Structure 1
């Protein structure tokens, strides 16, 4: 539900009842990943998507029914070879969709969108498989381990579920986990779907150049919290980068040392000036971040590589550097170059090859998950 949380929060503030359908499991080449959601309010207004169009009508009807009878249901949609006109996924995949009514009587589900809108680190855990009495049970779990709500199966089950949800929240993961009905860690009794909402990943762009302005726009579109940093105050201004979340005037390596980063952070070095690049990359390539890339010609890269070796970077550390940054798209303009850089970031995060899908035989969807293209789903 992360992709529609702000809209749902507005509905809740306006006192609207609604039902929300969430993809909780997928198989094969499904069009949307777990966490994708479609919501329908009592007036028939819909927001979001669970399939990109394949089964939206059927899921819409399930939401309307849930609003009428107040029941939570789990429905599976797949592809039927026997009936080409049956409701299903034309891509051949399978999705499980949990449909839940939300009203004042469901306080946990009503709190979730507000917490997401505030930017809180929270996880929503819901029962998707187990005893019928537990289906739709929900808990809102915070990063400190405290929680609201319950699954309806007793205190031990709630404590175990909260612990599992917190572990997934710590990792920023969305997915399923199995626990026993008695609350033990033995799988097989109850399946929980856990949606983790964490602050957006960071993209730090070093070098307040024209290419940076285009990359800021692209990074924002992909769901990053984007920072521009440059040591030159005449270039690092809010007027030049109005779409950046932050514009910082500081020496790049000094700023990177003191700012917060994590395993999802993307570092893009666009300065291609050795006095900035080398000390900055010396710091960046030793941080546990998701991606480090640097702009420049191949000649610049060779010179940069030599200088980085001279300051003591190892082969393993140098192997983490994406340089020259970007995929080969034949890019010329800042916007095209930003697209090239973004494409490489996505490919690195998702395990893509960057090759055309036409005639390649490579998978369209990859199993690896990493930095989100809009937060993380």
Structure 2
């Protein structure tokens, strides 16, 4: 065990103790040191008087309030110490009280208080000792070095306290920033999960509703087609349940620190042909997928976003547009891919749109892209989404 670690509990207990109790103990210790000349009168030739002892006590007792009222305590000791020295019955051997108040002001006082007190004590010591004929030159150096050392220790304590305070403030700021980052990451993850669940459920339920509404008609006219319709409803429901289980499984695998251990494969641009065929087979909506340019690599988040915005646009067409035809176009450029979804139906009831269009804009923005919605050039409704290409993965596609 190191020396520092052994005394660490003592230091902590000292810092957290009652300031009045510590300062009272310090004042008692200084009073004891001042009283040594009376306790051992044969040790020196200086005369001893009760007046001298009272003046010595006056250099110690004000230290009780050295942290509560540092200036007042310093002034009291600064008056009592030269008075005791001039009284010379006995003179102070060591200016204990003076060193304590200089340390205190250097650690706690304002700049002008520190400088004024240090200058006052240096001048006071020199002037006082000039009036005492029996003082030796080395005693000047002894007293001045004692005062200078006490002042230097106070400066070091002040610098150390400021440094510690700065470290604590920085730690608190970092903790607040970490908590804010964690909260923001959780909010983004909740938003992502909410968008995924909305897209999955809205798409699946829309297809199931369309099929269910057509079911009673085809049951009477074409039993074989009715059977295929119900098979489509069941298949769509199973697919939706599978995707929901995947999302819920990711939530269950979340670690205590809020991070996810692993994510199962997410849908990507490669799955768009299957999505378009599924919509056409399930709803009868004539759907076409067109691709222009050479496909380029996308980040995993952008892959998911591209699939989901097409899915949501087609879902909106099925649910609200009353369209007979929809076209999905992928235009690959060097730095971005543009997805355009156009139908021949009607647009949303409001310019902003519902949760689906808002989700499309949020997904595009989260990937560093943009989304535009509005009427198509030949009527109907159009959604245009631009997503960035992963330039750092250039050449990943052969």
Larger Rg computed on CA atoms: 2
Write 1 or 2 for the structure with the bigger share of helix: 2
Q: Taking structure 2 as the reference length, what is the TM-score of the superposition? A: 0.18
TM-score by length of 1: 0.19
Greater fraction strand: 1
Highest RCO, 1 vs 2 (Cα 8 Å, sep ≥ 6) = 1
